[in-house]
Amino acid sequence: MKNLTRRQFGKTLATTTAATALTTTLPWQKALADVGKPKLLEFPKGFLWGCATASYQIEGAVAEDGRKPSIWDTFSHTPGKTFQGDTGDVADDSYHLYKEDIRLLKNLGVSVYRFSIAWPRVFPDGSGAPNPKGLDYYNRVLDELLKNNITPYVTLFHWDLPQALPGGWQNRDTSKAYADYAGYVAKHLSDRVSHFFTINEFECWTNLGYQEGRFAPGLKLPNAQVNQIRHNAVLAHGLGVQAIRANAKAGTQVGLAENTKVFVPVIENAEQIKAAQLAQREENAPFLTAVLEGKYTDGYLQREGANAPKVEPGDMKIIGSPLDFVGINSYTPGYVEADSSPSGYKVVPRPTSFPRMASANWLFIGPEVLYWAVRNVSEIWNPKALYITENGTSSDDVLTADGHIEDTDRVMYVRNHLTHLHRAATEGYPIKGYFLWSLLDNFEWADGYSKRFGLHYVDFKTQVRTPKLSAQWYKEAIAKNAVE
């Protein structure tokens, strides 16, 4: 360039610099370009994606083909017990529309479906002679699922206890009747069902049904009686595990689905994590802890004193029957701090400003709950496998004039929870699958039809199902086996 004038040199330098800028990406430019690009959080190969429902919440047909009333039929028909007197008489009419509902599952791309069997369909009186027509319905459901390459995961008790059983769960004999029912179903369905859940959410139905009176059968009993009901429930689980193993096809797996209280350390360090796990074990003492350890904790027995359950010889060994997997129904966290008390922890109350879903004031938003649910249960009890068997949210879903439901709150709730579940999966905890609650809007227990948890909007007058935005989002997540 020695023969160029200063002006020519300047022009050449500017041109060269511009050309270089077009072909060279500087670090800050690369970082800026990456902003806004979705980062895929991929789940392990073979991770199972599904949806969950429950018999009384979706089936309807409460008096068809030999079914007799459950305690929820009685409760929902009692004035003042449910929102606006809503009942499960028709619900989603899935008894007749199950093929349509399975098409919805297939469209989502799920590989698994968790649904429950109505005990009063199979044994209308709770015990005695089985009802062939009741079992035939579930045979049809299973065959349709398998035809569509969807693997069934079956829950044997999701709260619809046959009304005819004398004394209900207050009677120890109900535990034995449950085992007979579980063994019968396993014998007849395990040719197509490889995974059975014994009982869904001990804590919810025992506390709300027998202590607070807000769920069926609507009782408010003294603590000693409630503790005995809790014991009868976990005993039924253990007897059910043994009955399934004795009657099912070889290789059938057995577990449970529990809404275990999950405690998150407010500060993530060794001391606070230990406190969270101490709380996890002790605050779930009557249920998951008893099942996974085959004993009640000393702390629980001391706290209850004379109100502690009466335990017969051999009960705890039955209750602690080994499981193949543990299902966790998880929606919202509790928080703890370490302290110097004998327990080693204190539960931290949520401030009134803590975020929650506007459509469900109990549903505090803490997506980290899925990570700590998996980690705490894994590190305390070392289960062979774990599933998130329920997770989701209600929303004030509105069907727009053009037929859409833009449930962005549900999308954000689920997406954020799944990012924390992804953390658990990548850290090596044995999480095998995720069942979103729920496939459909349905009968939401005492809330009737006022709360909508579904991926599909249901017009309960016409039974028309409409996919929501969340259904589209979940379908894409399943296809990618990842969240963004």
Name every residue whose Cβ is closer than 8 Å to that of residue 60 and which is 6 or more positions away in sequence. 88, 89, 90, 91, 92, 93, 94, 95, 96
Q: Which residues of 378-406 are buried (b: 16+ CB within 10 A; e: fewer)?
A: bebbebebbbbbbbbbbbebeeeeeeebe
Is the CB of residue 425 less than 8 Å from the CB of residue 431?
Answer: yes
Name every residue whose Cβ is closer than 8 Å to that of residue 388 and which is 6 or more positions away in sequence. 327, 328, 329, 330, 370, 373, 374, 421, 431, 433, 434, 435
Q: Could you tell me the two tokens for 202?
A: 């001990």
Helices of type H across 334-459: 369-381, 408-426
- The closest of 136, 112, 126, 194 to 163, measured between CA atoms, is 126
Q: 390 catalytic, yes or no?
A: yes
**Residue 157, amino acid:** F
Q: Can you tell me the distance from the alpha carbon of 472 to that of 293, in angstroms, rounded to the nearest whole number? A: 41
Q: Can you tell me the distance from the alpha carbon of 179 to that of 431, in angstroms, rounded to the nearest whole number? A: 28
**Residue 167, amino acid:** G
Catalytic residue, candidates 258, 283, 390, 444: 390
Q: 282 catalytic, yes or no?
A: no
Name every residue whose Cβ is closer than 8 Å to that of residue 93 and which is 6 or more positions away in sequence. 59, 60, 61, 463
Catalytic residue, candidates 201, 203, 258, 444: 201
- The closest of 337, 320, 417 to 369, measured between CA atoms, is 417
Burial label for 149, CB within 10 Å (0-12, 13-18, 19+), is exposed
Q: Can you tell me the distance from the alpha carbon of 320 to that of 185, in angstroms, rounded to the nearest whole number? A: 22
- State which H helix or E strand residue 328 sits in: strand 326-329
Give Rg (Cα) of the chain.
26
Catalytic residues: 201, 390
